Amino acid sequence: MTFISITYGLFLLVFLGIYWSMKSPSGQLWILLIGSLTFYASLQIQYIPLLLAITLINFYLGRAIGANLAPGRQNTKKWQSAQKSWNQRRLQLLWLGVLLNVICLVSFKYVPFILSNIAAPLNLPVVEESASWISTYLIAPLGISFFTFECIAYLIDVYRGAPATKQLLQFTAYKLYFPKLISGPITRYHQFTGGLKNLQFPTLDRVTEGLWLITCGAVKKALLGDRLGILVDLCFGNLERAGSGDLWLAIFAYGLQLYLDFSGYVDIARGTAVLMGINLPENFDFPYFSTSIADFWRRWHMTLGDWIRNYLYFPLGGSRKGLSRTCLNLVIVMLITGIWHGAAWGFLVWGGLHGLALVIHRLTDAVANGLNWVKLWWQSWIGVLVAWFLTQSMVFVSWIFFRLPKLSQATLAVQHLWGQPADIQFAQKVYIEAIGLGRLQIAFLIGILVALMTLVYFFYRGLKLQLNWSVKLLLMPLGLYTVWVLAPQGGQPYIYFDF
Which string of DSSP letters, residue by residue, matches 376-405? HHHHSHHHHHHHHHHHHHHHHHHHHHHH--
Task: List Cβ neighbours of 355 (8 Å cut-off, separation of 6 or more).
Answer: 330, 331, 332, 333, 334, 335
Extended beta strands in 64-206, E state: none
Given CA atoms 186, 188, 193, 195 in this order, what sign does their dihedral have?
A: negative
Cα–Cα dist 329/335, whole Å: 10
Q: Is the separation of the CB atoms in 82 and 70 below 8 Å?
A: yes
Cα–Cα dist 344/389, whole Å: 29
Catalytic member of 341, 354, 361, 416:
341
361 is catalytic: no
Cα–Cα dist 159/308, whole Å: 17
> Measuring CA to CA, which residue among 296, 363, 375, 369 is closest to residue 326?
363
Q: Is the separation of the CB atoms in 392 and 200 below 8 Å?
A: no
Tell me the one-letter amino acid at 131: A
Q: Is the separation of the CB atoms in 302 and 284 below 8 Å?
A: yes
Residue numbers annotated as active site: 341
